[in-house]
Amino acid sequence: MRVTVRLPRSLVAALATVIAGVTTPAAASAAPLEWPLPRLELGATSQPGTASTLAKAYKLKLRYQYLAGGVNTDAVWTTWGDRFVESYVEESRKAKMLPVFTYYEIRQSLPGGNNGDEPKAVLSNLENTATMRAYWQNVRELFTRLGKEGGPAVVHVEPDMWGYLQQAYGDDATKAPVSVASSGASDVAGLPNTAAGFAQAFVRLRDQLAPQVRLGYHVSIWGTNRDIVITNDSLSATRQLAARAAAFQRSLGAAFDVRFGEMSDKDSGLAVAWGAPRSTAWWNAADFRRHAAFYAAMRQASPMPLVLWQIPVGNTVMRSVNDTTGHYQDNKVQWLLDARKRWVHLRAYRDAGLVSLLFGGGQGDDTSVLDARNDGATNPSPINGNRRRARVADDDGGYFRERARAYARRGTLKLSP
């Protein structure tokens, strides 16, 4: 008779460390954790002190916060107060929200942080042994705090970095040089000095120190050196690009729990103000279909829950959003949360594996779902048919709040099996 013994995840991780010289790090990695929310829920960027408002007035179930500043600078997140991470988790738990931390440290770390060429800065930092020694110590600190705090949380690992690695070194992460074991950090001893080793190091530290935390990999839609929105490729070509993106992720040999995706790092109106052509800054129906097809193809090649993150929140409905600082227009909230068609656009993403939408701009001048500009309810003259008057102080005129509440009221979508 076969007897199956199930070991606790933490014990599995400990054993994996002991036998690291016998089995490969990838083989020793535990299976991915299930996504902790049973339905497709909404979230937003959320600074400390805003959880209760977003949970009660907007009916959101998730919130996210950057951890940034550079691991070897005076601005690193560990200087933001003695219990910044712990307090954020506790505030989230009190509001019954899932906390998500976007760990974004490699770009701002030194010496690359002084380099205006972002891809070169990231890639050079990854090969710098002193930088990476401080980096792994900082990762250990994060997981130590989350492990002691307990409860579910998500760590979203280094958006953009993976895209730069794939662009520079191709679709095999084992060919991309990164200082892991060579950094001298004892926690990552024995792991390969590659992007694959980097991913495996994150999994090892999470498994050892905070096994309840979901670990998020970030896929950039431009990592193949073809941006699927700008190039306007066919759906067939888009699926081929997705297969390459999935191959790069598989080559990491690391059991991430969730895949993070992106749309744009700024409102369309802001992109135009900064010089982008309207034809690429503004998405049309074909762009959305191509985008959903990309992630659906990734799911087919490499199944994993999907979170769309940092989605711009501008709109073309409210007078408040008139393409001025903090009030730039966009159309993604309208597309995703259009209830008139029974969430048909949202369902397309749900069928691609979507489990959550996280809204918020990536630039300081972007539109916010709160009153980030501290200018109260604003109703300037319409600029292009945006005639509805705002009754709340939200910088988007309250449109996202309205749509999020309607989505919660009508019943959130079940997750795709």
Tell me how far apart the alpha carbons of residues 329 and 322 are, in angstroms, rounded to a whole number. Answer: 7
pTM: 0.93
Predicted confidence at residue 30, as pLDDT, reads 66
Number of domain units in the chain = 2
Based on the fold, state whether residues 238 and 296 are members of the same structural domain.
no
Based on the fold, state whether residues 339 and 218 are members of the same structural domain.
no
Based on the fold, state whether residues 188 and 235 are members of the same structural domain.
yes
Which of 207, 227, 262 marks a domain boundary? 262
Based on the fold, state whether residues 192 and 167 are members of the same structural domain.
yes
- Block means of pLDDT (10 residues each) for the chain, length 417 residues? 38 39 42 94 98 99 99 98 98 99 99 98 99 99 99 98 99 99 99 99 99 98 96 96 98 98 98 97 97 98 98 99 99 93 93 98 98 98 98 99 97 93
The helix (H) or strand (E) run that includes residue 99 is strand 98-103
DSSP secondary structure code for residue 366 in this structure? S
In a domain, 332, yes or no: yes
> Please, what's the b/e burial string for 250-271 (b: 16 or more CB within 10 A of its CB; e: otherwise)?
ebbbbbbbbbbbbbbebbbbbb
Predicted confidence at residue 307, as pLDDT, reads 99
Based on the fold, state whether residues 145 and 277 are members of the same structural domain.
no
In a domain, 311, yes or no: yes
In a domain, 230, yes or no: yes
Quote the tokens at residue 291: 């985008």
In a domain, 202, yes or no: yes
Q: Is the dihedral of CA 332, 333, 336, 342 positive or negative?
A: negative
Based on the fold, state whether residues 290 and 338 are members of the same structural domain.
yes
In a domain, 45, yes or no: no
Based on the fold, state whether residues 289 and 341 are members of the same structural domain.
yes
Q: Angle at CA 368, nearest 5°, toward 365 and 369?
A: 175
Based on the fold, state whether residues 268 and 258 are members of the same structural domain.
no
Please give the residue range of the domain that contains residue 183: 1-30+61-244+254-262
Which of 262, 295, 318 marks a domain boundary? 262
Based on the fold, state whether residues 297 and 410 are members of the same structural domain.
yes
Q: How many CB atoms lie within 10 A of CB 187?
A: 17
Predicted confidence at residue 342, as pLDDT, reads 84
Contacts 24+ apart (CB under 8 A), 338-345: 339/403, 339/406, 339/407, 339/410, 343/407, 343/413, 345/288
In a domain, 51, yes or no: no
Based on the fold, state whether residues 226 and 304 are members of the same structural domain.
no
In a domain, 49, yes or no: no
Based on the fold, state whether residues 324 and 222 are members of the same structural domain.
no
Predicted confidence at residue 194, as pLDDT, reads 99
Collapse the DSSP code of 98 into the 3-class scheme (helix H, G, I; strand E, B; otherwise coil) and give the result: strand
In a domain, 40, yes or no: no
Which of 262, 292, 317 marks a domain boundary? 262
Based on the fold, state whether residues 298 and 171 are members of the same structural domain.
no
